Homo-oligomer: A and B are copies of this chain.
Amino acid sequence: MAELNLLTPQGFQAAGVACGIKTQAGAMDLGLLLADTPAAAAAVFTTNKVVAAPVVLGRETIQTGRLRAVVVNSGNANACTGEQGMADARTMARLAAEAVGASPGEVLVSSTGIIGRPLPMDRIPAGIAQAAGQLDRTPDAAEAFARAIMTTDTAMKASAAQADIGSARVTVAGVCKGAGMISPAMATMLAYLTTDARIGPAALRSALRAAADASFNTITVDGHTSTNDTAAVLASGAAGGPEIAEDTADFDRFASLLAGVCAELARKIVADGEGATRVVEVRVEGARTEAEAALAARAVANSPLVKCAVHGGDPNWGRTVSAVGYSGAAFDADKLRHWIGDELVFAGGMPTRYDLARCQEHMAGSRVLLRVDLGAGKAAYTCTTCDLSRDYVAINADYHT
C-alpha cells in the first residue's frame, strides 16, 4: 500500500507554489486545497483576543459547515493589519473562489508569517492562479501543499490513518506547520485535515473539537498562544456508507481516528519546537478534576526551570514538584508521587532513594516522561512540550524586527 497522504481521501486536490511572499527566492509560500464538491467542514481557531484578519473571516466562513477550498499563504500572517488586512483576506477568498469555480463563502483563508505588515497583494493573485492551474491528486501535490504552509519549520509535518467504519474504509489525513517561531511573531500553528468519511458538519465539529482538545491544545513550546492558530477538517463523503451520526459507535471510531491523526501532528510540532532537542511528556494523574490535572501539567510543561533541567538531562524532581505546587491544583504534598520515566523519585513529601543513573539514562533519550500522581482523585491530563535550549534564546533574541 502506498503511503497515506493528504490526498489519499477521495475527493480532494491540492497544490503549492512560490509566488514571492517570502523573501527567499523560490520559497514555496501559497497552498491551495480543493474539495471536488462542497465538503462538510469544521474548524477551530486561536483563543487569542488579538486575531489575524483571516481568522476573523474564517470564523464567519465556517458557520455554514461547508467548504470547497482552503487557500493558505506563508511568509505573512496578515495579523495586526487593520481594515486593509480584512479587505485582503476577502480578496484572497474571492480570487481562490473564482479560480476553482466556487463562491467566496466556500473558501477558508489562512495566513502565517510576519505580523503587522500588509499582504503583498501585487503577488498573491498570480500565486492563486498558478496554484489553481497546478491542482492535482498526486502525493507530490499533497507534499507541495504541506511545504507551502511552512515558515521556520525544519520538517514537513503530515499524518494519516485508516479504519473501517460501518461499511466504509475511512481515511483521515492531515498536514500542519508550526512551533518554529516566526520572526517577529509568535508560534503559529496551522493544521488541515481531509477525510473521505460521510459525516455532517455538526458531528464533524464535535469530533474536531475533541481531537484538538486532546492534541493541539495539549502541546506547548513556550506558553505563547498565537494570533493565527487554525485547525480545519474537510470531509468529502467519498468513502460512502451511511452518514456517521453523533452518539454512535461509528462516530466514536471516526472521532478516535481523527484524534489519532491530530495527536501525531501535534507531536511533530513539539518535536520541531525552536531549539528543541527532546520531547517531554508531562502526565498528571490522581487529580480531583481534569481541569486541575491540566493546570498542574501545564505549570510543569511551561516552567523554564523544568525545561532547562530536561535540556541538561538532569533529573531535577524539585523543579517539577514545586511547579505542581504553584499550579493551583489541589493536593496534599505528602500524597504526591513523581516518576521520571518509570523511576519513582518523590513520595511521602521527600525524594526516594532513586536510582540516579537510571533517571539520567532516561533523560538522555529523545523522549522524556515526567509523571506525577497528585493522590487527590482520579482525573488525568497529559501535556507535551520540548526542552529549553540556548538555541531557543538565540533564535528568539538575535532576530531583529
What residues of chain A have their CB less than 8 Å away from a CB belonging to chain B? 47-51, 79-82, 115-116, 181, 184-186, 222-227, 302-305, 308-309, 311-319, 321-326, 329-331, 333, 336, 346, 348-351, 356, 387-390, 392-394, 396-401
Contact = CB atoms under 8 A, between A and B. Distances in A.
How many copies altogether?
Answer: 2
Nearest to A49: B325
B392 A50 contact: no
Contacts of A312: 396-400
Contacts of A331: 49
Contacts of A387: 397
Nearest to A327: B49
A318 B323 CA distance: 28
B82 A349 contact: yes
B318 A80 contact: yes
A81 to B, nearest CB: 6
B81 A350 contact: yes
A319 B302 CA distance: 17
25 contacts: A48-B325, A49-B330, A50-B322, A50-B325, A51-B333, A80-B321, A80-B350, A115-B318, A115-B322, A116-B317, A116-B351, A184-B314, A184-B318, A185-B318, A223-B304, A224-B303, A224-B323, A224-B326, A304-B396, A308-B392, A309-B396, A312-B400, A313-B400, A388-B393, A390-B394
Nearest to A83: B349
A116 B351 CA distance: 6
Given A51-B333, A314-B399, A304 B304 contact: yes
A351 to B, nearest CB: 4
Given A311-B393, A312-B397, A326-B224, A318 B51 contact: no
Interface centre among A115, A333, A350, A400 (most CB of B within 10 A): A350
Nearest to A394: B390
A397 B389 CA distance: 8
Contacts of A223: 302-304
Nearest to A317: B116
B396 A389 contact: no
B185 A319 contact: yes
Given A348-B82, A393-B389, A398-B312, A322 B184 contact: no
Closest 9 CB pairs of A and B: A50-B325, A308-B396, A312-B397, A225-B326, A48-B325, A308-B397, A311-B397, A116-B351, A49-B325
A363 B336 CA distance: 44
A50 B401 CA distance: 41
Given A303-B223, A308-B393, A312-B399, A116 B50 contact: no
A390 B393 CA distance: 6
A394 B392 CA distance: 12
Contacts of A115: 318, 322
A398 B311 CA distance: 8
B349 A80 contact: yes
